[in-house]
Amino acid sequence: MTTTRTFKTAKQNIYRNLVLRTARLALDDDEDLDRPESEYPFDDGYELFAAGLAIGFLNENRNEESRGNYSQDFIEIDNISNDEYREAINFVWELVKIRHDDVDETEAWEYARQYADAGVDKINREMEYRGEFDMIGLLSIFEGEWDETLEKLLQEEKLEEAEIDTL
């Protein structure tokens, strides 16, 4: 069974503060942006979701308070038109499924949303602290984390396969 992976967030206020398109959607027709477009580091919510998912996953940090507090469905992940964002989300999604192989896909996708919300919180805190978004600087914090995380997850996967083979 394949679960429907819908992009949702409990952090809509942060998306409105960091994503230009989300900020524009929140405006009434006669309102104008109260800050320059250059102060919105993300073009769309999918870009922020993908970044938040990667950061939350690497931190092994889930925002469990998000459950049940999501805003409306935006779009199914497979229907995101930007290949880079969709592929980044799908890549981390595969890692989430490996890390949480003890739950079904629906629950694993819930965890992915929670990782994304935790990562979005971290990005927002960095923005508030620095006054600008420095993706390179933020990712440098995780230098080497991808390799270690992938190695750890793949090792666990191999161990589980070996255990199954011995049964």
Alpha-carbon gap, residue 56 to 54, rounded angstroms: 6
Residue 101 has pLDDT above 70, yes or no: yes
More confident of the two residues 130 and 60: 60
Q: Stretch 112-140: mean pLDDT, rounded? A: 84
pLDDT in tens, 146-156: 667 767 767 66
pLDDT at 159: 53
- 159 versus 141: the higher-pLDDT residue is 141
Residue 59 phi/psi, 5° resolution?
-75, -10
Q: Is the pLDDT of residue 129 over 50?
A: yes
**Alpha carbon 52 to its chain's center:** 4
CB neighbours of 47 closer than 8 A, spacing ≥ 6? 19, 82, 85
Q: What is the dihedral of CA 73, 136, 18, 60, to 10 degrees?
A: 50
Look at residue 42 and give its three-state secondary structure. Answer: strand
pLDDT tens per residue, range 5-48 = 888 899 988 888 888 766 666 666 556 666 666 677 888 888 99
